[in-house]
């Protein structure tokens, strides 16, 4: 299949491009589009055949339900059975935005979207291109992240092309997304809100409006037989190279994380001297890594996301994640960094973790899912 890629301005997208992409959706086709979180892969949510094509293009397991995206609250009427008061308050405060609500589903919603569940996940994205596309299509848009299943979510159109070029009709390219991690998913079908997936809306913000909010036990590292969000049971966000996560305990300083990361890097170098090793480091640790490298005569290359990947063997290929004090910045760079290390052909990745506060909760959730090994410090 030929994939058409059209660049649009993120703030003032050309109406012609949105109309064209909207027609593809109405005709049962697949359109990848930017949201404020990550790029989504959209299909007409009320067309079962179109929705099935999303699963085929992504290689997504059929029992992992999709989020339906709307451009206005009126469109919810046909999708959910009822909008409880708690949901209304959350929408008032956080829509459009990175918050997905799980509500009892209306008859109209095909089982393909919800994987047969009695509930449906809905969200209004905070991106002019996404909202314009949904409005132009005139239908609700089912859209998971626009990556092949198991790969890190795409934060640029180039990432989408890498995974889905030739598998979808249309890609709207509006440059890099802002938030960088997927939406926060909250189940509102019980007596109190339950976070099923941490994401672009911080738990602290959610609690300001929703009061007592619980967190699905699966997110706290406890093993559960049947996670309530089916997506949670799949490995996700995994780069091709094995990733070791350095996870700080409460109050542990970035420097301590950096020391453990450097030890892990040295171990990888000793085991695989014929490839570079990737280090995703916290800004606070750059001076100490440079010093440690020179003290041990280790080749150290400070790389940048927007440069071409690549380095000689036995080099520490270091990418800055952002400051430990700015989890939003770390979130926005995370998936791009994982893909960048893959392109560089590193033997392994060592990632310095942050405290699970604010967007740090989502960052650490994604890193844990990507990690083959976790070192707690």
Q: Which does 141 bind (CB under 5 to 8 A by kind): Mg ion, ligand AMP, none?
A: none
CB of 229 to ligand AMP, least distance (A): 4
CB of 58 to Mg ion, least distance (A): 8
Question: In the complex, which residue's CB is closest to ligand AMP?
Answer: 231
Nearer to ligand AMP, 67 or 202 (CB): 67
Q: Which does 285 bind (CB under 5 to 8 A by kind): Mg ion, ligand AMP, none?
A: none
CB of 64 to ligand AMP, least distance (A): 5
16 contacts: CB under 8 Å, gap ≥ 6: none
Nearer to Mg ion, 269 or 362 (CB): 362
With binding defined as CB under 5 A, does residue 229 bind Mg ion?
Answer: no
Q: Which does 322 bind (CB under 5 to 8 A by kind): ligand AMP, Mg ion, none?
A: none
Q: Which does 196 bind (CB under 5 to 8 A by kind): Mg ion, ligand AMP, none?
A: ligand AMP
Nearer to ligand AMP, 65 or 176 (CB): 65
Nearer to ligand AMP, 121 or 238 (CB): 121
> CB–CB of 62/70 below 8 Å?
no
CB of 219 to ligand AMP, least distance (A): 11
Nearer to ligand AMP, 6 or 196 (CB): 196
CB of 302 to ligand AMP, least distance (A): 32
141 contacts: CB under 8 Å, gap ≥ 6: 25, 40, 42, 43, 44, 45, 68, 69, 70, 133, 134
Stretch that binds Mg ion, among 117-125, 143-151, 289-297, 350-358 (CB under 5 A): 143-151
CB of 102 to ligand AMP, least distance (A): 4
With binding defined as CB under 5 A, does residue 37 bind Mg ion?
Answer: no
Nearer to ligand AMP, 42 or 248 (CB): 42
As to burial, measured by CB atoms within 10 angstroms (0-12 exposed, 13-18 middle, 19+ buried), residue 77 is exposed
With binding defined as CB under 5 A, does residue 145 bind Mg ion?
Answer: yes
CB of 303 to ligand AMP, least distance (A): 28
Nearer to ligand AMP, 233 or 266 (CB): 233
List of residues contacting ligand AMP (CB under 6 A) = 64-65, 67, 102, 114, 117, 119-121, 144-145, 182, 185, 196-197, 229-231
Question: In the complex, which residue's CB is closest to Mg ion?
Answer: 145
Q: How far apart are CA 75 and CA 345, in angstroms?
A: 45
Nearer to ligand AMP, 119 or 365 (CB): 119
CB of 282 to ligand AMP, least distance (A): 26
Q: Which does 6 bind (CB under 5 to 8 A by kind): ligand AMP, Mg ion, none?
A: none
* Chain residues that interact with Mg ion, rule: CB under 5 A: 144-145
């Amino acid at each position: 299949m030929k994939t058409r890629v059209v660049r649009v301005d993120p703030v003032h997208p050309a109406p012609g491009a949105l109309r064209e992409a909207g027609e593809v959706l109405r005709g049962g086709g697949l359109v990848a589009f930017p949201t404020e979180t990550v790029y989504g892969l959209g299909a007409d949510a009320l067309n079962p055949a179109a929705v099935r094509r999303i699963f085929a293009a992504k290689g997504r397991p059929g029992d992992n339900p999709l989020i339906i995206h709307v451009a206005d609250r009126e469109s919810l009427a046909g999708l959910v059975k009822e909008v409880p008061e708690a949901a209304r308050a959350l929408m008032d405060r956080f829509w459009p935005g990175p918050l997905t609500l799980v509500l009892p589903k209306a008859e109209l919603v095909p089982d393909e979207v919800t994987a047969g569940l009695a509930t449906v996940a809905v969200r209004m994205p905070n991106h002019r291109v996404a909202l314009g596309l949904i409005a132009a299509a005139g239908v609700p848009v089912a859209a998971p992240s626009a990556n092949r299943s198991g790969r890190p979510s795409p934060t640029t159109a180039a990432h989408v092309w890498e995974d889905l070029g030739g598998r979808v009709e249309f890609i709207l390219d509006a440059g890099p997304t802002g938030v960088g991690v997927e939406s926060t998913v909250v189940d509102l079908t019980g007596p109190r809100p339950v976070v099923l997936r941490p994401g672009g809306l911080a738990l602290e913000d959610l609690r300001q409006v929703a009061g007592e909010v619980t967190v699905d036990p699966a997110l706290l590292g406890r093993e559960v037989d049947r996670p309530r969000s089916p997506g949670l049971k799949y490995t996700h966000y995994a780069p091709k190279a094995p990733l070791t996560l350095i996870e700080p305990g409460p109050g542990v300083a970035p420097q301590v994380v950096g020391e453990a990361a450097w030890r892990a890097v040295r171990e990888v170098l000793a085991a695989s001297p014929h490839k570079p090793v990737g280090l995703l480091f916290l800004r606070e640790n750059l001076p100490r890594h440079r010093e440690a490298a020179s003290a041990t005569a280790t080749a150290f290359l400070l790389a940048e996301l927007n440069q071409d990947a690549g380095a000689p063997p036995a080099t520490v290929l270091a990418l800055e994640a952002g400051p430990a004090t700015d989890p939003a910045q770390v979130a926005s760079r995370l998936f791009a960094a994982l893909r960048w290390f893959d392109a560089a052909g590193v033997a392994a990745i060592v990632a310095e973790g942050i405290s699970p506060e604010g967007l740090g909760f989502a960052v650490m959730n994604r890193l844990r899912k990507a990690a083959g090994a976790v070192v707690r410090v």
